[in-house]
Structure 1
Amino acid sequence: MKVLYYDCFSGISGDMNLGAMLDLGVDPSYLLDELKKIRIGSYEIQIQQDQRRGIAGTRFEVLTSREDSSRHERNYRDISRLIQESDLSEEVKDLSLRLFLKIGEAEARVHGCTLEEIHFHEVGAVDSIIDVVGAALCLDYLKADRVLSSAVELGGGVVRCAHGILPVPAPATIEMLKGIPVTSGAVPFEMTTPTGAAILAVTVHSFTDRMNFTPQKIGYGIGTRDTEIPNVLRLYLGELEEDEPGDDAAQEDAWLVECNIDDMNPELYEEVMDALLEKGARDVYLTPILMKKSRPAVTLSIICDSRRKKDMEEVLWYQTTTFGLRSCPIAKTMLKRELSEVETPYGPVTMKHGFFRGRKIKSKPEYADCKRIAREKGVSIREVLEMLASGVPGKGTG
């Protein structure tokens, strides 16, 4: 499995990301040729070797005239049209639009208006459009199976933008980083920009400071400042071996979010659990407990990835009676899984198989399929399960 890892010890910006991507091995000719497919006016791209605090890497810079960089205040519809009318691949268009949508939604929440009313100032300028679409192009070029990131350094102090002087992190930046581990105060400057925050929020599968893969290439993207901490973004491209005999089951970071409830109508739990699963929870379960004064209660537990943590908390605040939550990061270990389809006299059933150290060690039918068949054919679920347990010949779907 190919892994791309963002090491954001010095934050992340759009230009640092592109510099690191090129330093990692993305073909500059590919990137420059693809960027020409967007018709956004005149600009010049400068790619050169540079260094910060003795660390050498690649500096990516978009050069525009002062007039070109300040005259455009595009909205999401304008940017969407630019991308959709280009000759970029559908995959790159889709990711570019998701990145801009993430920024637009964050700006809308901060300013208390709709997405359609938002005018992109800095992010609508030529250099920022290049940074966003360039990020999509580089990710498509590398085709990593999994994107990971460390905690994100935000910096400190204030930043000057179209709305005036704002605290660091800028409101839209921290809005996009909700549910993502961050650090701050390393230097009194902005270290993570809205573009950098969007790249992480949209593309990273999980956030962890533990690297459990084999690095094969390392790239450094050089930033504009010369700070005490090297102003560079470090990217790793590596391999995570999962399928070789002798390997353990795959691990990934997750969050456990819980609350104890002793005063809610039990009929409401089904709706709450459904809402949590719809928001992206990996697992939801109830555990009977005894609270103080021997009151019977339940612990409602949710396992989710870091990007979904805030969504889970929001459901619990609005749809349960709890006044408090607790959460902690956990390591989730999972067997490698494959699905196959088994033909039965009642119809096809999906089987899930678990593998450990290269060997299949367990299988089970998908309960939803068994339930559907039982209802359609007027038989009990137990009868369907027993038929499968007896060994019905089937065909694999991989």
Structure 2
Amino acid sequence: MKILYYDCFAGISGDMNLGALIDLGVDAEYLKNELSKLNIDGFRLEVNTDQRRGITGTKAEVIIENQENEKHRHLRHVEEIVNNSSLPEQVKRNALKIFDLVAEAEAKVHNISKQQVHFHEVGALDSIADIVGAAICLNYLKVDKVMASSIQLGGGTVKCAHGIMPVPAPATAEIVKNIPVKTGLVNHEATTPTGAAILVATVDEFTDSISFPIQKTAYGIGQRDHEVPNVLRVYLLETANETADVSTETASLLEANIDDMNPEHYDYLLEQLLKAGASDAWLTPIIMKKSRPAVQLSVLSPVKLVSQLKQLIFTHSTSIGLREYSVQKSMLRREERTVQTTLGPVRVKQSFFNGQRVRWKAEAEDCRQLASQHKLSLQAIEEEISKQLEL
């Protein structure tokens, strides 16, 4: 399994990310050609070799032409630019996910809707290029997993469109909520909102500990030159002896024993946990002290959502304490496709192991609709799907 690991010891910005991924192996000309698919004029990408404190890497800089004519944009303008391009769908989805994170943070800071956000720096051409470029590079590398260290935010103050702000800037602080961060290494903004959003949108796991063989190290060079090298370091890792089609990630397991809660309230609690992003949530009957029947609540959580899910448990249950474990998840590769049967289309989820399909499951609602439409049993519908999958 191929892994991209971000070592953000000195922070991250959009241009540092582009430089690092080009240094790692993304073809610069390919990136430029893909960016041209946005069909907007007024910028060009310059790529050069540079150095910071003896560390050599790649510096990528988006040069804006006729800056006085550059206009601010709202989220819908950015969405139109991306959606109207001929970029691959995966690139579009990742780019818009990053933009949406920034818009959501700005909206919360200014107490307005996402569509009202005036993007300022983030809507400028250089940030559009940085964000869409990040999605293009990730698609080019075709890694199986993205990991990152804690993010160094920096310190001091930063000058932005709204004046002098403390570091991290309010938008950055919103974006990195529930993400491991560090502060104070340098007295400037080490991580920009764009850099933070790229990580939050694309990283599968944040950890400061890696145990995989390093295949390649690369550096993206930043604009500053201080005692701490202003570089973003990235690694290409390769896991040894990984079974094909199996990926792993670290998660958290939250548990609470509850013996004094109205059983009718559990359904709402589980609904809120799953809606907030829990990977799974379930109840197990147990016997507590003095032979009292009780329920053990278990919640499997992505690491970045632990604080949010704890809050929901304490808000919507009677628990006054819980246990937390770090667990390792192993997951089969999954794909979803639409199967065209003689009765109509059905969405089917498939899982694979060692290159072979080992499981499939049809979307229950699709099956119910076809069964009702054709006056057939659900079993008959599933048999028809099975025939099509065997073709």
Q: Return the TM-score normalized by structure 1.
A: 0.78
Cα distance change, pair 351–178 in 1 and its aligned pair in 2 (3 A): closer
The aligned counterpart of 1:385 is none
The whole-number CA distance in structure 1 between the counterparts of 2:89 and 2:378 is 45
Tell me if the contact between 2:153 and 2:167 (Cα under 8 Å) persists in the aligned partners. yes
**1:201 and 1:307 in contact (8 A); partners too:** no
1:90–1:333 Cα change, 3 Å: closer
The percent identity for this pair of structures is 47
- Name 2:87's counterpart in structure 1: 88
Counterpart for residue 278 of structure 2: 281
How far apart, in 2, do the equivalents of 1:36 and 1:52 lie?
30
TM-score by length of 2: 0.79
Change (3 A) 1:327 1:196: farther
Among 322, 330, 333, the residue aligned to 1:334: 330
Residue 175 of structure 1: how far off its partner (Å): 1.2
Aligned to 2:63: 63
Is the 2:15–2:61 Cα contact (8 Å) retained in structure 1? yes
Q: Distance in 1 between matches of 2:220 and 2:389?
A: 45
- Alignment partner, residue 339 of structure 2: none
Q: 2:253, 2:327 within 8 Å by CA — same for their partners in 1?
A: no
Q: In structure 1, what is the Cα distance between the partners aligned to 2:360 and 2:298? A: 25
Contact kept in structure 1, 2:55 and 2:229, CA below 8 Å: yes
Judging changes above 3 Å, is the alpha-carbon distance between structure 1 residues 80 and 160 closer, same or farther for their aligned structure 2 residues?
same
Contact 2:158/2:169 (<8 A) preserved: yes
CA–CA distance in structure 2, aligned partners of residues 378 and 35 of structure 1: 48
Partner of 2:33: 33
Decide whether aligned partners of structure 1 residues 312 and 264 sit closer, same or farther in structure 2, where only a CA change above 3 A counts: same
| Letter paired with 1:162 | A
What's 1:269 paired with?
266
Aligned pairs for 1:146-295 (under 5 A) are 146-243=145-242, 251-259=248-256, 261-286=258-283, 288=286, 290=288
Match of 2:313 in 1: 316
Give the direction of change, closer, same or farther, for the CA distance of 1:77–1:365 in structure 2 (3 Å limit). Answer: closer
Amino acid at match of 1:93: K
SS of 1:37's partner is: helix
Contact 2:214 2:238 in 1 (8 A): yes
**Which SS does the other structure have where 2:10 is aligned?**
coil
1:33 partner letter: N
Q: Secondary structure at the match of 2:40?
A: coil
State how far apart, in whole Å, the 2-side matches of 1:282 and 1:179 are: 16
Identify the residue that residue 386 of structure 1 maps to in structure 2.
Answer: none
Between 1:161-170 and 1:223-232, the stretch displaced more is 223-232
- Tell me the distance in 2 between the aligned counterparts of 1:215 and 1:301: 35
- In 1: Cα distance, 2:359 partner to 2:82 partner: 45
Counterpart residue type for residue 39 of structure 1: N
Question: Runs of 5+ in structure 1 lacking a partner?
Answer: 340-349, 380-393
User: What runs of 5+ residues in structure 2 fail to find an aligned partner?
Assistant: 336-347, 369-375, 380-386
Q: Which residue pairs with 2:72 in the alignment?
A: 73
Cα displacement string for residues 75-99 of structure 1 (whole angstroms, at most 9, x for unaligned residues)? 0011111222223222222221111
Counterpart check, 1:116 vs 2:115: yes
Deviation of the 1:68 alpha carbon: 3.9
CA distance in 2, matches of 1:160, 1:324: 43
Distance 1:281 1:42, change over 3 A: same
Contact 1:154 1:185 in 2 (8 A): yes
Residue 301 of structure 1, CA deviation: 2.8
Q: Is it true that 1:15 corresponds to 2:11 in the alignment?
A: no
